A and B are shown apart, each in its own frame.
Chain A
Amino acid sequence: MARLLLPVFLIFSVFLLMRGHDSPGGGFTGGLVASAGFVLYGLVHGPRSVRRALRINLKPLIGIGLSIGLASALIGPLMGRPFFSAYWWKLPFGPKIGTPAIFDIGVYVVVLAVVLTIMLAREEREA
């Protein structure tokens, strides 16, 4: 049952992330919901299976999230504009994407990685 629920949680969390800019949601909430999904999975199948399901090591994932956030802020200087300047591009199939949205993705990843690090920290094996 948990195996079925995890993808649902993950899809919902991404949904929350994407709609965050116009409706309730965003990176923090999305990340929390995603980590809740993994925690539920872990309650049923054990912590080791969570790490397997994630496929990426947690501590580097924290760094990746921070890097994504920082990279979105550095797009400005790369174009000769101030740090954290916002850029928006219109995609052909509808939604708009911009540096704040990329930043939000970074937030999502960091929240997910940190929460899982804390929840899984007590098990014996290295991540």
Chain B
Amino acid sequence: MGAGGSLFVTVFLPFLAALAVPGLGRMFGRRLGTVLALVPLAILVLHLPRLATRVEAKGSIPWAPDLGLSLAFRIDSLALAFVLLIATVAAAVFPYAGAYLGADRRFFATLLAFMGAMLGIVLADDLILLFIFWELTSVTSFLLIAHHSERPEARRSAQQAFLVTFVGGLTLLAGALIIGHEAGTTRLTELPDTVRATPAYLAVVVCVLAAAFTKSAQVPFHFWLPNAMEAPTPVSALLHSATMVQAGVYLVARLDPFLGGTLLWTDALTYVGCVTAVLGGLLSLRQYDLKRLLAYSTVGALGLLIAAIGQRAWGAFYGFFIAHGLYKAAMFLVAGSLDHGGGSRDVRTLAGLGPKMAVTRGTAIAAGLSMAALPPALGYVGKEGLLHAASPLLIGATVIYGATSLAVAALVALRPFRKGVPPESAHEVAGGMRLGAAILAALGIALFPLAPALGRVFVGEPFALVAPGGWSLVTWAAGVGLYALWVARSPQGRPSTFSMDRLYDGVRRNGFTLAAFITRRVQHGYLNGYVRAVFGTLVVLVAYGIARALPTALPRELEAPTFYEFALAVTMIVGAGAAVVSASRLAAVAALGIVGYGVAVIYVRFGAPDLAMTQIAVETLTLILFVFTFYYLPKPQRRRNPGPRLRDGIVAGAVGVTMTVLTFIASAMQNDGKLNRFFSENALSEGKGRNVVNVILVDFRGFDTLGEITVLAVAGLGVFALLRMPKRERGGGPSAP
């Protein structure tokens, strides 16, 4: 493994740290955030040297060789850019979060898990592995957005973000499977170029782009991102500006060598990206809440990045990607600081905070320079790169977006600090909150002179530090104009006659109405109704299968039963009969017990001691459970009309007959015994055990058993939850007598 080992450490260290959070929380208390920042810092230290030396490395562990699945990781310049950005932003956000939220163990564990999953996405070398980490980020993002779970808005936004991105993830899985089928492998470093030529190409592109566009909030899937601002500010800074939303961008960039170059790919990316950039930018100016301003701005930035990939403008892509990640995260942290120290996120009312929040102001200005694409900030390099692109569409989108970007930057960095009267309680925020944001903003400036070197590492040619071109001047001028317009018009409320958000709401509401309707019809509360429905369906389906098999399947020679077998059968039949006719529930239960124990004796008789022991134990426990439950029920009523009994009797009889015929047919079927022989012969040599049943359960078919105990655990928790639900009026009638 060697060099690849560092990749495994990078991905799994955050998860291990997440497991250790409860203990670490107890040890470090309020300093938890700062201590946990060591994790991203360690990753940073691990990978920074790659900037100077060899970037590429790989490592893999076989997971299920028969399925072609491995735990495979790989780093190259694209992945490195993402890893460094993720680690840098995380290192700044963790101490901030510690000061903002205190030592919230649940929060930090989830945040660490998110970071691990994000790193997993960019370092994964296998598409299926990438998918798993992709959905993991959706899940952790859901938990983080809903952190203030007592707020209905937070819950709704988290649900919305999760639904949109999770469905996108499923299309990613579909795309990955198609690629795997066409290319013969799901290893990214082994994908051939030929996928482009196959007829499945369209399907693959649709799936991949659906996944990328939902995750990266492209039009028309952009509506979840502004709502995700319900999350605590550190979450917005890490997830919804610099990392998670960039996952879609990463996916597109990663697959471009294999899927790109065609008109479909290029046009889809360019058009969707540019539309998103323009829409995001313009919509941002209708906002007055600091975080929503930045959220829409992020939507636009993601659009530009997607379009840049479409145009294969890699220099511009890397430059803008790095700059945006740094300044946007810094801006979000500033917004959080203004909220915390200035008491509000409303840009219309914030004023006069300059003197009291000097550090935050300095940070905001530094980040704002980058955001407005003014030298000497890295953002300038990024935007210049975009403005020198070949496509007029991209240039146009960049001009428009750049103008709005400058306006938003001014709104966040200048407006709250202008001359005015601050609220009484205004104060500068704690050190942890200042430091992180300041470092991110400072990096935006410090990297400016290093831009050429960065370009050489990532793209092979240096980023040019050129003088501003004509388009830049246009952008700046337009930006100033937009800012002035905003100040003059002062937006009133949340926008839009047509809103994807409202469409989502409508779909969701109707979905729930439909679900409620169906549930009311199907879940009527009558237990014997449920049983009849299940058994009735079972009989119909099995009978159909039997009817089809009947002409060819003949029951084999039947042996005459021995005396003991006969006696056993009679006892069981008597027991079953007694269960049906007895008036007392307890007597019925006891009679059922006779049948159950009878089955156990059958197991013993035919040589299955494990089954017999399990059957006896389960039967005993079930009887005890029945007795406990029946204790609370009212006395059974005497039924006067025979109608319902007859109906139940018919269903029961049909089930019995069907299962008996099925058993005959099954035992008559030709069985070549290959499986039997394999297991009996290999149980001792391979499985090292003489109990074939057990060896099958825990060794040969161990994975199935793992699934079974998981189901068992969920069932147990489900029973617990059901029985502990608070008593309230239950719709529906009494259960079975």
The CA of A82 and the CA of B694, in the complex, are separated in Å by: 21
Q: How many contacts A-B (CB < 8 Å)? A: 138
The CA of A26 and the CA of B709, in the complex, are separated in Å by: 14
- B719/A39 in contact, CB under 8 A: no
The CA of A21 and the CA of B697, in the complex, are separated in Å by: 10
Is A28 located at the chain interface by the 8 A CB criterion? yes
A82 CB contacts on chain B under 8 angstroms: 61-65
The CA of A118 and the CA of B719, in the complex, are separated in Å by: 6
**Chain A positions 65 through 81: 1 when the CB is less than 8 Å from some CB of chain B, otherwise 0:** 11001100100010011
Is A122 located at the chain interface by the 8 A CB criterion? yes
A59 CB contacts on chain B under 8 angstroms: 717, 720
- A100/B699 in contact, CB under 8 A: yes
**Chain A, interface SS category:** helix
* A-facing residues in B37-65 (Cβ within 8 Å): 61-65
B689 CB contacts on chain A under 8 angstroms: 21-22, 100
The CA of A45 and the CA of B197, in the complex, are separated in Å by: 73
- A29/B613 in contact, CB under 8 A: yes
The CA of A84 and the CA of B715, in the complex, are separated in Å by: 24
Given known contacts A100-B702, A117-B720, A26 and B694 CB-to-CB distance under 8 angstroms: yes
Is A107 located at the chain interface by the 8 A CB criterion? yes
- B720/A121 in contact, CB under 8 A: yes
Is A93 located at the chain interface by the 8 A CB criterion? no
Q: How far is the CB of A43 from chain B (nearest CB, A)?
A: 7
B705 CB contacts on chain A under 8 angstroms: 69, 103, 107
Is A15 located at the chain interface by the 8 A CB criterion? no
- B610/A25 in contact, CB under 8 A: yes
Given known contacts A24-B613, A32-B618, A77 and B691 CB-to-CB distance under 8 angstroms: no
The CA of A115 and the CA of B698, in the complex, are separated in Å by: 20
The CA of A82 and the CA of B705, in the complex, are separated in Å by: 17
Is A55 located at the chain interface by the 8 A CB criterion? no
**Chain A positions 90 through 113: 1 when the CB is less than 8 Å from some CB of chain B, otherwise 0:** 000000101011011011001101
* B-facing residues in A23-66 (Cβ within 8 Å): 23-29, 32-33, 35-36, 39, 43, 59, 62-63, 65-66
- B720/A25 in contact, CB under 8 A: no
Q: How far is the CB of B709 from chain A (nearest CB, A)?
A: 4
Given known contacts A26-B610, A27-B698, A59-B720, A77 and B71 CB-to-CB distance under 8 angstroms: yes
The CA of A27 and the CA of B618, in the complex, are separated in Å by: 14
Chain A residue with the shortest CB-CB distance to B608: A24
The CA of A57 and the CA of B605, in the complex, are separated in Å by: 40
Partner of B617, one of A36, A65, A86, A96: A36
The CA of A63 and the CA of B716, in the complex, are separated in Å by: 11
Given known contacts A107-B709, A117-B720, A23 and B690 CB-to-CB distance under 8 angstroms: yes
Partner of B695, one of A21, A36, A84: A21
* A-facing residues in B514-537 (Cβ within 8 Å): none
* A-facing residues in B313-342 (Cβ within 8 Å): none
Q: How far is the CB of B611 from chain A (nearest CB, A)?
A: 9
Is A10 located at the chain interface by the 8 A CB criterion? no
The CA of A73 and the CA of B709, in the complex, are separated in Å by: 14
B693 CB contacts on chain A under 8 angstroms: 26
Chain A residue with the shortest CB-CB distance to B713: A62
Is B724 located at the chain interface by the 8 A CB criterion? yes
Stretch of B375-383, B385-393, B468-476, B619-627 that contacts chain A: B619-627
Partner of B614, one of A32, A80, A98, A103: A32
Given known contacts A32-B614, A103-B698, A65 and B709 CB-to-CB distance under 8 angstroms: yes
B625 CB contacts on chain A under 8 angstroms: 118-119
A35 CB contacts on chain B under 8 angstroms: 621
A113 CB contacts on chain B under 8 angstroms: 713, 716
Q: Which among B689, B690, B694 has the greatest number of chain A C-beta atoms within 10 A?
A: B694
Q: How far is the CB of B39 from chain A (nearest CB, A)?
A: 20
- A39/B621 in contact, CB under 8 A: yes
- B624/A39 in contact, CB under 8 A: yes
Is B628 located at the chain interface by the 8 A CB criterion? yes
Q: How far is the CB of A117 from chain B (nearest CB, A)?
A: 5
- B691/A84 in contact, CB under 8 A: no
Is B609 located at the chain interface by the 8 A CB criterion? yes
Q: How far is the CB of A83 from chain B (nearest CB, A)?
A: 5
Is B736 located at the chain interface by the 8 A CB criterion? no
Chain B residue with the shortest CB-CB distance to A101: B698
- A62/B702 in contact, CB under 8 A: no
* A-facing residues in B161-191 (Cβ within 8 Å): none
* B-facing residues in A10-24 (Cβ within 8 Å): 16, 20-24
By Cβ-Cβ distance, the 10 closest A-B pairs, closest first, are A114-B716, A32-B617, A21-B689, A24-B609, A26-B694, A22-B690, A100-B698, A121-B723, A100-B699, A110-B709
A interface residue numbers (CB < 8 A to B)? 16, 20-29, 32-33, 35-36, 39, 43, 59, 62-63, 65-66, 69-70, 73, 77, 80-84, 86, 88, 96, 98, 100-101, 103-104, 106-107, 110-111, 113-115, 117-119, 121-122
15 A-B pairs (CB sep. < 8 Å): A21-B688, A21-B691, A22-B689, A26-B693, A26-B694, A29-B613, A32-B614, A32-B617, A33-B613, A63-B713, A82-B62, A84-B702, A86-B687, A103-B702, A111-B709
